[in-house]
A and B are shown apart, each in its own frame.
Chain A
Amino acid sequence: MADKIQLSKKDRLSVAWRHQFLQGSWNYERMQNGGWCYSIIPAIKKLYSNKEDQISALKRHMEFYNTHPYVSAPVMGVTLALEEERANGAQVDDAAIQGVKVGMMGPLAGVGDPVFWYTVRPILGALGASMAMSGNIIGPLLFFVAWNVIRMAFLWYTQEFGYKVGTEITKDLSGGLLGKITSGASILGMFIIGALVQRWVSISFAPTVSTVQLSEGAYIDWSAISSTASSDGVGAAIQSALSQQASGLSLTDTTVTTLQQNLDSLIPGLAAVGLTLLCCWLLKKKVSPIVIIIALFVVGVAGHLIGLL
């Protein structure tokens, strides 16, 4: 018997590199099929020397395929292992390969979306954005570098994992590991989103609730300060004013309480969480996010005009 044909590390790296372009020919008919076929070409070339076999392999990998682009890597690893066995004469038919792909893509997409799109990206994005909003270059750099390091490591190591473990991976998948990752990601994600809503959704209600006249001695007496200025000089006046403020005297003779301060004394960001839950509800009612976004701008302008915001 001839030597076993094996995929070298170079072949696998080449597949992993191409796999990054999985979604390039995303189409409404068979979704990621073109990108999948494009990715696996180096392996087909290595494993099958016969033209007939090459053609049937290409056609086999042009079938419908769609999952999250990163968790597709372990699927690719398993598929490589199967193709390798097949090229070495094992009984692996087209249906088995397609079955593995379809069987893995659904549950894995269910993990990839919450982990990457709803947990890792919002966290890294918010971290970078909060620095960037003050013009700090570290913000975008941190986001870009951290994201791509995580992504590339994930793509390569999970593909290798799939390749080494082969079809046995399906046992792991049903062993509850995926469920644990998903719920762990949801917990972390929800926690961070809660924090982000508090920090970054800003609503401030302008109306004044009360204006209280302060009693004498509770505010800085500016006429006394100006007489100090004329007698002892401006420096002494400033010093006296600052020390009075430091000892707790008010700058004005009234205390103005706005609606916002009242809300903040309940818990800061109450209005923000209310708005977010309203958006959740509207989205559940199938209102398009775009409509809500435009409506919020309209509310912002209108609210500002009538003095509410």
Chain B
Amino acid sequence: MDPITVLLVVFVAFLAGMEGILDEFEFHQPLVACTLVGLVTGHLEAGIMLGGSLQMIALGWANIGAAVAPDAALASVASSIIMVLALNGGSSDTQTAITTSIALAVPLSVAGLFLTMVVRTLAIPIVHAMDACADKGNFRGVEAWHIVAIIMQGVRIAIPAAALCFVPSDAVTAALNAMPAWLTDGMSIGGGMVAAVGYAMVINMMATREVWPFFALGFVLATISELTLIALGAIGLSLAFIYLGLKEAAQAGGGAGGSGDPLGDILNDY
């Protein structure tokens, strides 16, 4: 890669690293990070495709409280750099490069997780420095240390990204081409199943006896291929409003002296 490309890639990596902790602009989501790496390296379409596939896997990865999920930032940045290297090497085809990058993204997300924990520990002395500034009423100091902490999170991804940029692309392509077809095909099959883990994480967070039927409805309605995701979203939203409305009505009815059995009430009035 030429120096300007490397700089741009490192900049994208820096943004992704910052967002890995901030979770605001979402530069660390594969859909955004891989697209940006693809854009600055001239492999926009491949980057978008990789981002889409990785996003499906990473949908359920979220930082809750002190717990940290697999790190989407390092996974998406590093795997897209590897894909770009493979494509630059020439002989490897796009689909193989994408599939292999997805498989590599998984161990990378674990490595990113450890880096996050290191940085979050390093942030402890930083807040102590902020305490010291607060004691003196030093606004500038508090602000500067906070910004240092954010930069540290950006550097967490920028350094591995920069290092990867200097791997010769021939080597990456050669390694990919050396992989037998059964391995790449098998990994692509595995990649199709991996999305289930992310969904399972989300389900475990939300599932109660009350909402399981909605899961079943969503699953069954999705078999109608004419329904787009937006259509399904509209159905889901309507169901939620209908359900909450009915539930409220049932409770209000109960409070107003009804028997709690609307059908029985109607029959009695009849």
Contact = CB atoms under 8 A, between A and B. Distances in A.
B4 interface: no
B59 interface: yes
Contacts of A151: 24
A190 B29 contact: no
A236 interface: no
A218 B129 CA distance: 82
Interface in A10-38: 20-31, 33-35, 37-38
- Most chain B beta-carbon contacts within 10 A, residue among A51, A187, A280, A284: A187
A3 to B, nearest CB: 24
A59 B135 contact: yes
Nearest to A151: B24
A4 interface: no
Contacts, number: 367
B233 A273 contact: no
Interface in A263-287: 267-269, 272-273, 275-280, 282-284
A190 B206 contact: yes
Interface in A147-177: 147-148, 151
Contacts of A135: 45-46, 48-49
A131 B130 CA distance: 45
B146 A21 contact: yes
A62 B189 CA distance: 49
Contacts of A107: none
B244 interface: yes
Interface of A: 20-31, 33-35, 37-38, 41, 44-45, 51, 54-55, 58-59, 62, 66, 69, 109, 113-114, 117-118, 121-123, 125-137, 139-140, 143-144, 147-148, 151, 180, 183-204, 267-269, 272-273, 275-280, 282-284, 289-290, 292-294, 296-305, 309
14 contacts: A24-B150, A26-B21, A45-B139, A125-B59, A134-B49, A186-B211, A190-B212, A191-B215, A193-B203, A289-B70, A293-B70, A297-B190, A301-B186, A301-B187
